[in-house]
């Protein structure tokens, strides 16, 4: 066989494999084609949590939650379709998990800048006014962005937002919660941080995605352990934009 033909075949195969990876065929939450159909076939819970954001609300009323989040074109969805859409361009409201319901999606405010955090404060305060308590969590390992927020009865109680790429906090508000006890969290916005020596200290704790999951677990639901739970309601969730 002509050597140029062999080289051409090898190049074509290599390009095909590369293209498949770029299109996310092997990605956990992405389908092998454009998302067009939302499945309502019953399925089992699926863990998630990394490289995304979510809101936890103490309610079982998915429709009311969708209305407050101003979601449009809502449709019933199972876990698989819901998370696929959430990681694309929609928001997935999960089946009830214990007393909590989660809203996941990269179309939610990301909480990775001051304007976005202000939006989230308004949303969480509105949700907690209606349902008693609402929380936000976000984590993106590429820029080492990590955030947790809690609102109770219409008032913000705690915010900790940090971006490791710049080594700075976006916002720190409120007293540490029980979930944060024992941690000496880095705070670039503190008076101590005005001293150069603060930045050299070795007794400070820096947020990472694992810490976000630990706080989420103590506050409400750890999303990377949903499949281990026995209190997930057997029902469909909602997908909306």
Q: Mean of the per-residue pLDDT values for the chain?
A: 89
Rounded alpha-carbon distances, angstroms, from residue 228 to 5, 48, 212, 241:
52, 12, 18, 29
Classify each residue of 198-233 as buried b or exposed e, where b means 16 or more C-beta atoms within 10 Å of its C-beta: eeeeeeeeebebebbbbbbeebbbbbbebeeeeebe
Q: What is the pLDDT of residues 50-107, one digit of tens each?
A: 999 999 999 999 999 999 999 999 999 999 999 999 999 899 999 999 999 999 998 9
Q: Which long-range contacts (CB under 8 A, 24 or more apart) does 206-211 make?
A: 206/162, 206/164, 207/146, 207/160, 207/162, 207/164, 208/144, 208/146, 208/164, 209/49, 209/50, 209/139, 209/141, 209/146, 211/146, 211/183
Q: What is the pLDDT of residues 14-64, one digit of tens each?
A: 444 333 333 332 234 444 334 558 999 999 999 999 999 999 999 999 999
Number of C-beta neighbours around residue 30 at 10 A:
15
- CA-nearest of 180, 64, 76, 70 to 132 is 64
**Are the CB atoms for 92 and 103 separated by under 8 Å?**
yes
Predicted TM-score (pTM) of the model is 0.85
Q: What is the pLDDT of residues 190-222, one digit of tens each?
A: 999 999 999 999 999 999 999 999 999 999 999
Give me the residue spans of the domains in the chain. 1-30, 34-240
The Cα diameter of the chain in Å comes to 75
Cα–Cα distance, 219 to 124 (Å, whole number): 15
Tokens of 120: 């989230």
Bigger pLDDT: 6 vs 92: 92
Asked if pLDDT for residue 111 goes beyond 80, the answer is yes
Asked if pLDDT for residue 158 goes beyond 70, the answer is yes
**Are the CB atoms for 221 and 213 separated by under 8 Å?**
no
């Amino acid at each position: 066989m002509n050597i140029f033909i062999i080289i051409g075949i090898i190049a074509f195969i290599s390009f095909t494999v590369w293209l498949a990876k770029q299109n996310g065929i092997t990605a956990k939450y992405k389908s092998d084609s454009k998302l067009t159909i939302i499945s309502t076939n019953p399925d089992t819970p699926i863990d998630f949590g990394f490289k995304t954001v979510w809101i936890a609300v103490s309610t079982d009323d998915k429709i009311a939650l969708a209305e407050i989040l101003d979601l449009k074109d809502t449709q019933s969805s199972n876990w698989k379709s819901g998370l696929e859409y959430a990681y694309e361009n929609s928001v997935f409201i999960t089946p009830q998990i214990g007393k909590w319901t989660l809203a996941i999606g990269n179309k939610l405010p990301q909480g990775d800048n001051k304007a976005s955090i202000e939006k989230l404060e308004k949303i969480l305060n509105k949700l907690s006014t209606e349902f008693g308590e609402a929380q936000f969590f976000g984590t993106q390992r590429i820029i080492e962005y990590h955030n947790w927020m809690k609102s109770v009865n219409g008032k913000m109680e705690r915010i900790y937002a940090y971006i490791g790429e710049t080594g700075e906090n976006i916002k720190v508000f409120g007293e540490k919660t029980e979930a944060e006890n024992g941690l000496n969290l880095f705070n670039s916005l503190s008076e101590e941080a005005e001293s150069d020596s603060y930045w050299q200290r070795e007794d400070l704790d820096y947020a990472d995605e694992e810490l976000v999951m630990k706080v989420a677990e103590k506050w409400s639901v750890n999303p990377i352990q949903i499949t281990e739970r026995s209190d997930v309601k057997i029902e469909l969730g909602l997908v909306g934009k």
